[in-house]
Every structure is written in C-alpha cells, then in structure tokens.
Amino acid sequence: MDTLLLMLICGGGYLVAYHTYGRFLAKKIFKLNKNALVPSAELQDGIDYVPARKGIIFGHHYTSIAGTGPIVGPAIGIIWGWLPAILWVFLGSIFMGAVHDFGSLVVSMRNQGKSISEVAAKYINIRVRFIFFAIVFLSLLIVIAIFGVVIAAVFTRFPTAVIPVWLQIPIAVALGFAVYKRGASVPVATAIAVVGMYLCIAVGSWLPCGLGTAFGIPATGLWVIILLIYAWVASTLPVTTLLQPRDYINAWQLFIAMGLLVGGTVVASLTDKLPLAAPAINPSLPTNTPPIWPFMFVIIACGAISGFHSLVASGTTAKQVAKEPDCQFVGYGSMLLEGFLAVLVIICVAAGVAMAVKLDNGTILTGQAAWQHQYSSWLGAKGMGLSDKIAPVVIGAANIMGTLGLPETVGITLMGVFIASFSGTTLDTSVRIQRYVISELAADLRIPFLANRWAATTFAVLTAAALAFATGADGTGAMKLWPLFGTSNQLLAALALLVVTLYLKRKGGFKFIITAVPCLIMLVITNWAMVKNETIFLADKNWLLVTIGAGIFALALWMTAEAFMAFFSVTHSTEPPQKADVST
C-alpha cells in the first residue's frame, strides 16, 4: 500500500500544482493573452511555423522532451534511495522544471519563435549570443550522435521493436495527411492510428528483426547511418507531414503505457504484491558511486528539470502553438506529466523489480534480494551499457503490467518499442532544432547558403556523423563526450532560466524572483558538479574531457557574468507592447 499511496500523492500533487501554481504563472506572471499575435500565425509558412491544435502540439512537445531521460535518470539516481529521488522529481518539476519550460516557451513566442540562444542576445547583449550558441550546438551535437547509438542498442536488445518503430512512420504520415489535407476527425483518425500502431507491435513480437555486419560496419554503425539519413529527411519536411503526427501518436503510446503501469500498481498494491524494496535512503552505496550532492541533481534531469526542454520549447514548439493560453497546458502541463512518468519509473525500479528477477541460471529472486542484485553496482559507470541502465525499468514495468494479465514477453516488447520510439522523437526534434540554431547563426554571420534549411540540416547531420564515427565503425564516438552531457544539459537549464529572469525583470516589479531562485540553485549545483567532474577527468588524465569541459565552464561563467551585469542595469521595461491578433 505504501507504493500506491506514493503514486496517488504525487499524481494528486501534480494536478493541484497545475491548477494553482501553473494558473498563477499563466495569469499573474506571464499574463497570457488569447488575442496576442503568435509566431505560428504571424510567420505561418506551412513548414516550421504552423498553428496546431492544443492536444496535438502537447503530444509533439511531450514526446520530444521526454525521450529516455525520465527513464534512465531515475533508474540510476534511485541508488541513493527512493526518497531523495522522489522529492527531487516531485518538487523540482513543479517549482523548477515546469517553470523553466513554461518561461522558455512564452519568451520565445513573444520573440517570433526564435531560439533561446537568439533571445539571449536581446535580453543580455550581443556577445552572449555566440556563447549560448556554442553551448547549445555542442549539447545538440552530442544528443544527435548519442541517440543514434541509443536506438541502435534498443534495436539490438529488443529486436521485436524494430518493425513496430519503423512502421510508425507511414502511420504518422497517413494521420497527418488525413487531418491536415482531408479534414478528418482528429479523435477518429487518432483512434485508427493508435490501433494500427499496436497491431504493428503485435506483428513485431512475432517477427523480430536485426542487422548484421555490412561493408565492415557493425550493426550499431549501420543503424546510426540509417537513423541519421532518416533524421535528415524528417527534419526538412513540413512539421505536419511527419514530425508532429509521429510525436502525437507516440504520446498516445506513452499514455497507454502509463495507464497500464498505473493500473498494475493499483492491482499489485491492493494484493500486497508491490512493497517498496529499495531503501528510502541507501546507507550502503556500491563502489564508485559519486556523492548525492551535487550528482543526483545532474543525473536525474528530465523528470525534474532539463535544459534540453528549453531548446524544444523555443525551437519547434514555439512555432506551432496557436494561442498564448495554450502555453500553460503545453509548457507547464507537459513537464508535470513527465515528472509523473519519472515517478512511475521510480516505482518500477523501487518496487516492480522486487516482484521477480530471473537470473541466467533460472533462479528467481524476489524482494530486497532482487533489488540488491540489480543495484549491486553503480549503473552510471562508463562501462555499463544502455541495456544495463534500462534493464531495471523494463523488468519492473513488465512485472507490474503482468498483474493485469499481460504476458511478460508482451510487456517487454511494449517497453522496447516505447523506449526506441521516444528516442526517435528526440532524434527528429534535435536535428530540426540544430538546423534552426545553425540557420540563425548563419543569418547573424551573413552566410546565406548555410541559412538554407537543406544546407543547415546537412551540416547538422554530417557533424553528428563525424562525432559518431570518430572512434571507429561502430558509431559510438559520441560516448567519449557523454560524461559532459549531464552537466552541460543542466547548465543550459540554468542559462535559460537566466534569460527568462531578465525578461521578467524588464517587465518591472519582483516577478523575476519566480525564475531567479531556481536559476541560482541550478547555477550553484551545476557549477559544483562541473568542478567535481573536472577533478575526475584530471585524475584520469582524460585531456579531451578536461579541455572541452573547461571550455564549457569558462563560457558559462562568462555568460553568467554578462547576465548579472545586464540584470543590475535594467531599471524599467523596454518591451514593446504585444501585437494583437487581428485575425481574431
């Protein structure tokens, strides 16, 4: 019953937060105006700027920010105990993560849907534009290169997920065509698409598919090449053709998976089959486990606060929101739902794993013995593969779904498709955002050719490919820089909050405190973690990470100093009045 109570308290708390704190932000802090002219209407081009229904853009935004972050992070972070993980996910998402996402979305929309990097130049100064661009470009470069490896690893670990994931593409294209070209009913078209998606999952469970070695390139390298080619195509097409509808149906896949986990948690808890086996606070940490301060707050990012979300909010989402009031649902609400997903993941690894863990020799462990078996070593270690990091989640989820009568193989296939699909949506969106970043920078530097969407996308994909294959044909080169991603990602969150804080400061009064407090917290935690990481890199004599890490750290300090000077120089609002949407 403790597990059920935990889920109900967190779920209920998120609902209360949305209707209280979220509404306060919408009405009192950002003053959302239903008649304001938004970028999707003002700059509508049928490719990137396209007004979307609130439910559809929510699906796109949610699946883009979710990815594997709220799965892998909590699965690793629970090593310090389920209580600190839950507190960080619950409180962090309400007062920090959702505020960060909401603010980034609103500020971008009020600046023609420009990226947070471009907006930084307006609210701080022209110099920080290039600092922010450098940090954003590097972060997206790692994400694009690494997610190809992530999906390749999932396809290798779950070959039954290959066919369902690829068949989602024609289903999504058909859905977009039906809704936008034929005016089909969204609920009916959605139901047909979701049913088709699950039929594909059934087909995939019967027809596992994999790749071998070709031209001297192993399966992971081949998948990375295929996925980057796909991402190039998907990122140059109009958002309504593939990106948006695919993200939307993936959102429904997630809703159904979360529904199964919620139902399974209720059934298992009522029959006393789901006790919390993980310790509330773990007194016996495995060897090499870093200290909880500051590393838990960097490792558990998505689900609490993540800088990548500001790139999505100010990248693709701000160009598709149809009305300002939709920002509360899309920006604030999606982060809270991601927080609830992280809560369910914590339940899977804190309690679901304890229901049963099957060893290679046929032995079945249960209770604390099962949990200790999964967490006898530090999952965040560089030598641990992706399958090792997500194994507790998959096992726990399959066990919980099994209480509803779902066979274990089906539950594992569902989780495999779910993880690969969400990694794919993150890859799609990241390449498109990187294209925006490159195009904006090229326009600033007066390089018109590179501002072209095809050239910018090609540059984004080729640089990611160069990183992926820098260490060999297996396409895992980005793993060399992966240790930098956690801190650079949380640094982005702090810097995005810094920009939103300056925006609110220009509005006058003390509204900026809402974002200034989480901004200062993230600046302290992230810089603390970066310094500790640098000492580790130095001890390991990893000069590549030492050099790049020090460079990012220096750029962050520079931008922070520039922002603080800008903050104390602002005395009154310099914002032009919002334009009304004359079309309404």
What residues does each domain of the chain span?
2-569
Confidence of residue 35 (pLDDT cuts 50, 70, 90): very high
Computed over every residue of the chain, the mean pLDDT equals 89
Against a cut of 0.75, is the pTM above it? yes
Number of CB atoms found within 10 A of residue 191's CB: 12
Taking 3-state DSSP, the helix, strand and coil percentages for the chain, each rounded to the nearest 5, stand at: 75, 0, 25
* Single-letter residue type at 412: I
The more confident residue out of 479 and 465 is 465
Tokens of 43: 């700059």
Q: What is the mean pLDDT of residues 296-312?
A: 93
Q: Is pLDDT at 582 greater than 70 in this prediction?
A: no
Poorest-pLDDT segment among 28-42, 400-414, 469-483: 400-414
> How many whole angstroms from its chain centre is CA 360?
33
d(CA 418, CA 519): 32
CATH class for domain 2-569? mainly alpha
pLDDT at 124: 84
Number of residues that make up the chain = 584
Q: What percent of the chain has pLDDT over 70?
A: 96
The rounded distance, in Å, linking the Cα atoms of 33 and 576 is 15
Burial of 544 (0-12, 13-18, 19+ CB in 10 A): exposed
- pLDDT of 117 higher than 80: yes
**What pLDDT was estimated at residue 584?**
33
Closest residue by Cα to residue 104 from 430, 428, 432, 503 = 503
Tens of pLDDT, residue by residue over 390-425, are 888 888 998 999 899 887 777 777 777 877 787 888
Summarize the confidence of residues 81-99 as an average pLDDT: 97
CA distances 21 to 25, 92, 515, Å, are: 6, 13, 13
